[in-house]
Structure 1
Amino acid sequence: MAWWIAVCSSAWAQSVAVPGACAPRVLAVQAARSMAGADPLVRPASGWEPLALPDVWVRRWPGHDGTVWYRIEWERSCADRTEPIALGLDGMSMAGEVFINDDLVWRDASVVEPLSRSWNTPRWWLLPTSALRGGVNTVWVRVVGLASLSPGLGSVRLGDPVAVAREQEQSLWRQRTVFVFSAGLSCAVGCLFGVVWCLRRSERAFGWYALMSICWAAYLLTLLATSAWPFTDTLTLSRLNIAAFVLYTLCFCLFTWRFGEQALPRLERALWGLALAGCAAVMLAPSAWVGVVFLVVWVGFALVFFANCLQFQWHAWRPRAGGRQPQHMLLALCWLVFVVVGVHDLMVILAMWQARETWSAIAGPVTTVCMALLLGGRLVAGMQRIERFNHELEAHVAITRADLQQALAREHAQALGHAKLQERMQIAHDLHDGLGGSLMRSMALVEQARHPLPHARVLSLLKVLRDDLRQVIDHGSSSGATVPETPVRWAAPLRHRFTRILDEMGVASDWRIAAQWGGLPTALQCLGLTRLVEEALSNVIKHSDARRLLVRVQPDAMGALQVRIEDDGVGFDVQAVQDAGLSVGMRSMAARAERMGGALVVESATGRTVVAVTLPLPLPLPLPLPLPLASA
């Protein structure tokens, strides 16, 4: 039974000393068991026996359940005491803890039932310098296991941290990663073929292959489990491991016979009876006999597996009247690979060769490739049927396409008429809000002038009207407007038009515009802000009699855009104007701010009037961080 776990795992390798400039020199490797009634946490004072790692203690102490202490004495091979030392461990069956001298380095999550399952989990640690001594150092490993589950200690590595880490990464790949990949692949393929079988119940071979893949994934998952959860003892999970292998072998044989169209009713009944008996024996065997039962059942169904692979070779390659089936020959080649891999791995384990060199991990990908080819052949036949259906469908589609084109032409003409009408309405609104406001400002200037305006002044007003008209023409409708790249570009046309008028009126203007947007506004919000600022500046020109004007555009910390127009004019009573309802401009600005989702605040007193607009804007999404490069 000692080699059974090795067959299942391919985990343990011969212990090696990691070379280096200051590699540790191992002086002795010994083990001693905790006797019945003794405290398992106390290291034995006697009974130490030399050994070589990896070690399975049932060869030395048959039937011993419980704790065994391992002692590895070593010293540095150079005088440099600051050189870091790493400790690597391929696994322990089942759980335990590691000490350097008298300091705890690591302990399993559970060293009592249900035990943690660390037999297939390589680990490594950097030994703390403070715990190392000048002369001989001792690594203590306490292992807790069951005699029926091949308890013991895997290979141990001491040496340079880089070399130990590299060895442990290779062990992790061989002992866990490749099996995780195989289990995931088996689950995916099993689900795929399960769907195929649900859609086509006549394809019973794919149904059995789906069950076979699920059983293989369950078998691997019991090997990869690091705890006995949800069970209360470790032995129950090991029973399920053997039962999963029995069911996998059963489904494997039934899939082979269904796919190869072999009618073997008596053999099938015998196999079903053998599988039920095997599962019952594994699940119900008493603890004292469980090791022997596990060995007999596992080896027996491994022989059934090999026998099925060999008999299918004869079935696929033998001459027959209708000729050999290519799909059967392809499956036979796949099963032949299984035979070669299985025989190689058994020889590796039984001969105590490098167990990490087993080939069992390639079985899953090879099977997946083979089944993909077989499924591809069936899909080709299905695609040919679909092509014939497509030819028949094309004639009906051509007729329907002609009718649809006529209907689309009518709808397009109607949509074009609606678009033209809507565009005219939008142009009318822009002319009213933009050019209309400029006309009102110009009329106010002419009406308020005490003397006839000179020709140059009239020409300036006409140029402003021309600029406003050009703005309407350039922007088009509000739906076709674009967002300026920066607030400076957005404010440039406003500043150009109003600065000329303000200079002629003797008003000093200060424009403080942010270099970038905080949050990005929409085109409609930009046009709305433009109209709002135009109205506010027009009010300054018409009513304020100001000498100084400040225009500030600045985003706040939350991304909201704050627009502030402040002058030192005569001011007015804000509440009285709002109550009287006489100010069309204030109502228009407030309505625009509300439509844009912002808020308008007007404050006024003698010598100071402020019109402020706060417009919440969404912050731009951050750029995604680059993915970290995987280590070699």
Structure 2
Amino acid sequence: MNPTGANWRAAHAPETGWTNVTLPDVWTRRWPGYNGVVWYRLTWREPANPQPRGLLLEYLNMAGAVYLNDVLILRDNSLVEPLTRAWNTPRYGVLDAPALRPGVNTMLVRVSGLAAYSPGLGPIVLGAPDTVHERYEREQWVRRDLQLFSLAITLTLGILVLMLWLYRRNETAYGWFSVMSLTWWLYAVNQVVTRPWPFATNDAWEIFVSIAFLAYCGSFTMYVLRFCGRRMPRTEALLWTTFGAGAIWLIVMPHDRIETSRALWAIVPGVTYLASCVLLFILTWQERRLEQRIVSMCALTFVIAGTHDFLVYFGVLASNVYYTTQTSQVLMIGMAIVLAKRFAENSRRIAQFNDELRVGIDNAREELAHTLNRQHELEVVNARLAERLDLAHDLHDGLGGALVSSIAAIEHAPHTLPPARFLGLLKEMRDELRFVIDAAATHQQGELALAEQIAPLRHRISVLFETQNIECIWRLDGITQCVLSAAQSLELLRILQEALTNVLKHARATRVIVELRHDDGQITLRVEDNGVGFDTNGVRINADTPGGGHLHGTGLNSMHRRAQRLGGSLALRRENNATVVMVQIDHR
């Protein structure tokens, strides 16, 4: 071999200065830090009638050209920076006449390389074309085809698991697996690319590859933790802080320190990766779960290949073949199978949960239907009870009042009551009973003016009070414009009827004033009598009935409930030696 210095465009080999070497050769072991062109010369003798020979160059690093007896037979596209990245590309050709001569034949291999990336020349094989071609196919399979196959699997699995993670964001192990797969793909593509695009130099490309390796090791550690159900916030923060600092370090380092920096930031993530594998082994064998042990065994294969590649990278092993990209598919497929199994189990659990939920919903629907039926039955019973209670109140307030007034009329003139008057009392009770029945039958149907509703009651009450020598004064204002439903009118009339019946039974009054006004949506009913009054407990003073006349009995309670149903209020008070019953209703 013979270096030509920094003359990157040297087209001819030097005449002197040759040194004997053994292939494969890395020239930085002899000339550290040397960047440029090195020529390798190989000579051999051929018989008078040379036979075709197969030629195999396993690799050269990084770019080169091959001359046989000063005839160019192989050449890379770019022999100056950005150099063609031919370091993992085997070359094969058949040597024949006229390039192959009888006697001494000389092969010159021009190699352009950079000191930071193990520049040199790999093994050269000459022999029978068929035999050499078989070896070439093996090298092509190991160095190119298997790499492409592994990259395709890695990229496919990464994208597939990424799609799964997008649907299941809470499964963070899927997310880190996809990041791990994609960053490994960016790192491993270095095995097959032949130019540093999109970067302008190989230095920039190698820095990019080193940063991808940092990202891969970090995401692998995160995957291991999440896969095993662990979270270590401080350790994770330290991990990414360290790797981020490493990426910045690689970017800002000058060219003459790139080799040392890349070596350092290959060791740090490499050790982290191995530590993550050890952690994976420990956690998976502690958990005693088959799926986790499968992943740990796949990782063991990758660890063995990674150890080999580290020894190659640092020159401990005399080889140029890296096996991590080839065995990565074992780890990726193993992890993907486990994640797919986990995804299938989760989907099965979800389907089972949906079935259980559907059964639960059906049961709940049946229970709800049963409850609603029971509630409907109770509502029907309550409605019937309410109707009976309303009917009882109407009978008490209406027919009861009519009976009381008729009894009072008969008691005051038992012998002088003419038959026509007695018949009139019976007709009034009949009319009152009919009023109660009609009101119950037409409850909440239609609307009538309050004046129309109160007229029959006013007539009956006036006649009754006249027979009892009680002056009854009516003051009606604005009720012709007040329109109420049948139910509302009935409630108000029953309050009035109960108040007047109470005056007739207990008050000993000689005068009653009834005021009913409708003004600006406000209905006011006021019944005032000059009777005996009542005490604070609502008991009439000096009433004739045993125990006194109770306003707070059935009648008063009925009046309160009716006022509340109308959305109003009822009040009892004494004003100027008079008893006042006041009802106010908002009818806007």
Query: Which aligned pairs between 1:48-447 and structure 2 lie closer than 5 A?
Result: 48-76=18-46, 78-81=47-50, 83-318=51-286, 324-346=288-310, 350-352=315-317, 356=321, 358=323, 361-386=326-351, 389=354
1:36 Cα deviation after fit: 4.4
Alignment of 1:500-579 (within 5 A): none
- Whether the aligned pair in 2 keeps the contact of 1:95 and 1:108 (CA below 8 Å) is yes
Deviations 1:146-202 (A, max 9, x none): 111111111111111111111111101111111111111111111111011100110
State the 1:329 CA deviation.
3.1
| 2:189 alignment partner, SS class | helix
> 1:273 Cα shift?
1.0
Instruction: Encode CA deviations 1:323-342: one digit per residue, 9 max, x unaligned.
Output: 64444333333323332332
Return closer, same or farther for 1:259/1:373 CA change in 2, 3 Å cut-off. closer
Query: Deviations 1:39-76 (Å, cap 9, x if unpaired)?
Result: 62221121100001111111111111110011001112
SS at match of 2:276: helix
- Deviation of the 1:139 alpha carbon: 0.6
Q: Secondary structure at the residue paired with 1:87?
A: strand
Q: Deviation of residue 362 (structure 1)?
A: 1.8
Unaligned 5+ runs, structure 2: 360-588
Between the aligned partners of 1:389 and 1:317, the Cα distance in structure 2 is 33
Contact 1:95 1:119 in 2 (8 A): yes
1:38 Cα offset (Å):
9.0
Looking at structure 2, the residues matched to 204 and 224 of structure 1 have their Cα atoms a distance apart, in angstroms, of 31
Residue 426 of structure 1: aligned partner = none
Percent identical across equivalent pairs?
32
**Residues in 2 aligned to 1:34 and 1:241: alpha-carbon distance in whole angstroms:** 30
Structure 1 residue 385, shift from structure 2 partner = 3.4
Secondary structure in structure 2 of the residue aligned to 1:369: helix
Equivalent AA in structure 1 for residue 172 of structure 2: R
* Deviation of 1:351 (Å): 4.4
Letter of the aligned partner of 1:243 in structure 2?
I
Tell me the residue number matched to 1:407: none
Shift in alpha-carbon separation, 1:212–1:84, aligned structure 2, 3 A: same
Equivalence for 1:516: none
> Per-residue displacement from partner, 1:527-556 (whole Å, max 9, x unpaired)?
xxxxxxxxxxxxxxxxxxxxxxxxxxxxxx
Contact residue 310 and residue 336 of structure 1 kept, 8 A: no
- 1:601-612 correspondence to structure 2 within 5 Å: none
Cα distance in 1 for residues equivalent to 2:81 and 2:309: 32
Q: Say if 1:386 and 1:212 are closer, same or farther in 2 by CA, change over 3 A.
A: same
Contact 1:182 1:365 in 2 (8 A): no
Distance 1:283 1:193, change over 3 A: same
Structure 2 CA distance for partners of 1:63 and 1:357, relative to 1, 3 Å: closer
Q: What's the offset of the Cα at 1:377?
A: 3.0
The answer on whether the counterparts of 2:154 and 2:329 sit within 8 Å (CA) in structure 1 is yes
CA separation of 1:199 and 1:241: change in aligned 2, threshold 3 A: same
Q: Partners of 1:301 and 1:309 in 2: how far apart?
A: 12
Secondary structure in structure 1 of the residue aligned to 2:44: strand
Deviation at 1:287, TM superposition (A): 0.4
Deviation by residue 1:386-443 (Cα, 9 ceiling, x = unmatched): 366579999xxxxxxxxxxxxxxxxxxxxxxxxxxxxxxxxxxxxxxxxxxxxxxxxx
| 2:193 aligned partner, one-letter code | A
Q: Do the aligned partners of residues 305 and 392 (structure 1) sit closer, same or farther apart at CA in structure 2, a change above 3 Å counting?
A: closer
Q: Give, in whole Å, the separation in 1 of the partners of 2:20 and 2:29.
A: 13
Kindly indicate whether the alpha-carbon contact (under 8 Å) linking 1:185 and 1:365 is maintained by their aligned counterparts in 2. Answer: no
Mapped partners of 1:288, 1:347: distance in 2? 23
CA distance in 2, matches of 1:392, 1:206: 27
Q: Give unmatched runs, 5+ long, in structure 1.
A: 1-30, 395-632
* Contact 1:32–1:70, Cα closer than 8 Å, also in 2: yes
Distance 1:235 1:356, change over 3 A: closer
Q: Sort the Cα spacing of 1:309 and 1:276 in 2 relative to 1 into closer, same or farther, 3 A.
A: same
How far apart are residue 361 of structure 1 and its match? 1.3
CA–CA distance in structure 2, aligned partners of residues 128 and 314 of structure 1: 60
SS at match of 2:98: helix
SS of the residue corresponding to residue 46 of structure 1 reads coil
CA distance in 1, matches of 2:8, 2:351: 75
Q: What secondary structure is seen at the aligned counterpart in 1 of 2:328?
A: helix
Change (3 A) 1:384 1:273: closer
1:285 partner amino acid: M
What is the CA RMSD across the aligned residues, in angstroms?
2.4
Show structure 1 runs of 4+ deviating over 6 A.
Answer: 390-394
Q: What code does the residue aligned with 1:226 have?
A: T
By how many angstroms is 1:97 displaced?
Answer: 0.6
Contact residue 8 and residue 36 of structure 2 kept, 8 A: no
The alignment partner of 1:139 has SS state of: strand
1:487 alignment counterpart: none
Q: What SS does the aligned partner of 1:141 have?
A: strand
Q: For residues 119 and 324 of structure 1, do their structure 2 counterparts lie closer, same or farther at Cα, with a shift above 3 Å needed?
A: same
Using the TM superposition, give the Cα deviation of residue 280 of structure 1 relative to its aligned residue in structure 2, in angstroms. Answer: 1.2
CA distance in 1, matches of 2:187, 2:56: 27
